Amino acid sequence: MTKIANEAKALIFMTARDCEMYVRQSLASLSRQTLDDLHVLFIDDCSKDDTGIIAAALLGDLFPGRHTFIRNDVQFGKSRNAWEHLRPRTGMAEFIAVLDGDDQLIMPTILERMSRSYASGQDVVWTNFITDGGGLGGNGALDPNLSPRRQGWKTSHFFSFRASLLDNVPAGYFQDNNGHWFMAACDIALALPILDQTRRYEFIPVNAHCYTASNPYSHHNLDPQSRGLNSTSQQRSAQDAFSKPPLPLTRPAQSTAPRVAAPAFTGNRPSDVVSAAVTVGSADAWQATASEILVAGYPTLLDAQCAAGRDPFTPIQVWALRRAAFGRTDRPNILHIGAPRSALALASLISGQDAGLNCLCITPEQVGDLEARFITGGLMEGISIIETETANVSFEDVSAIFPDTRQIGEEVKFDLVVVDLQNTSYPAESALLALPALASNLAPTGFSLCLFAQDRATEALAAQRWASVSAGLKFSLDAIGGSGLMVVGGR
Question: What does residue 256 show for φ and ψ, rounded to 5 degrees?
Answer: -60, 140
The reported pLDDT for the residue numbered 275 is 34
144-153 burial string, b = 16+ CB within 10 Å, else e?
A: bebebbebbb
The residue extents of the domains of the chain are 8-243, 293-489
Distance CA 463, CA 459 (A): 6
Contact 379, 353 (CB under 8 A): no
Give the architecture (CATH level 2) of 8-243.
Alpha-Beta Complex (3.90)
Which residue type is seen at 328? R
How many CB atoms lie under 10 A from the CB of residue 373? Answer: 20
What order do you get walking across the sheet with 333-338 strand by strand? Answer: 383-387, 356-361, 333-338, 416-420, 446-452, 485-490, 474-477
pTM of the model as a whole = 0.54
Provide the β-strand partners of residue 162: 95
Contact 297, 140 (CB under 8 A): yes
pLDDT in tens, the chain (491 residues): 333 445 789 999 999 999 999 999 999 999 999 999 999 999 999 999 999 999 999 999 999 999 999 999 999 999 999 999 999 999 999 999 999 999 999 999 999 999 999 999 999 999 999 888 777 888 999 999 889 998 888 998 899 999 999 999 999 999 999 999 999 999 999 999 999 999 999 999 999 999 888 876 554 455 565 555 455 777 888 889 999 999 999 999 875 433 333 333 333 333 333 333 333 344 677 788 788 778 777 878 888 888 887 788 999 999 999 989 888 888 899 999 999 999 999 998 888 777 889 999 988 888 888 888 888 877 777 788 888 888 888 888 888 899 988 878 788 999 999 999 988 888 889 999 999 999 999 998 899 999 999 889 999 999 999 998 888 899 999 999 999 999 999 86
- Fold topology of 293-489: Rossmann fold (3.40.50)
What Å distances lie between residue 358 and 44, 61, 182, 405, CA to CA?
Answer: 43, 49, 37, 12
Distance CA 186, CA 169 (A): 14
Those residues with Cβ within 8 angstroms of residue 245's Cβ, 6 or more apart along the chain or in another chain = none
Distance CA 283, CA 290 (A): 11
